[in-house]
Amino acid sequence: MASSVSGTEEVRVSASTPLKLVGLVCVFLALCLDAGAVLSPAWVTADDQYYLSMWMSCWKPVSSAEWSCNSTLTTDWQIVTLALLLGGAALILFSFQVALISLCSGSRSRCYKPVTVMLFSAVLLQVCSLVLFPIKFIETVSLRVYHEFNWGYGLAWGSTIFSFGGAILFCLNPKNYEDYY
């Protein structure tokens, strides 16, 4: 923090505003949650007989101790869901890098708008994937047992929410509140 004295008045200039730092933390958390969601083995589970991830669909017949697994990258809706989710994650990663570099180098205000646009675009992509997934799952997969959307799906929603929060924080105009800090 730099300060200068003009007469009896002291003026402080902050290298970064607290809201932008919180926004950067939100984007980092979104990135971590996205990684967890994409790598999660449990997007959908059904008792102890079935689970579905972004990569594999596995089931265990009642009479067998062996699991049978197939790739989920054979159906178009699962490929589109994964592509939308990974596209959003790539935008979050790129916006995190731009925000981190801009906050560290002091070129703050020039990079806020691109970071905000990238984060809102990532939120849009991820919401589309997270709405598409349960609709197409229920439409195409017929499970005769109770099934639930599990923690992998929840992590993806968490990532989307943190991305949206980061976008809002980077969207705020620093000229309106920077003088107060």
Beta strands in 7-147 (DSSP E): 9-13, 44-46, 50-52, 56-59, 68-71
Whether the CB-CB separation of 54 and 43 falls below 8 Å is answered with yes
User: Which residues of the chain register pLDDT less than 70?
Assistant: 1-16, 107-109, 142-145, 173-181
Whether the CB-CB separation of 68 and 78 falls below 8 Å is answered with no
Taking only Cα atoms into account, the Rg of the chain, rounded to an integer number of angstroms, comes to: 22
Whether the CB-CB separation of 84 and 132 falls below 8 Å is answered with yes
For the chain, which domains are there?
17-180 (1.20.140.150)
**Residues 126-154: tens digit of each pLDDT:** 999 999 999 988 888 766 667 788 899 99
**Total-model pTM:** 0.81
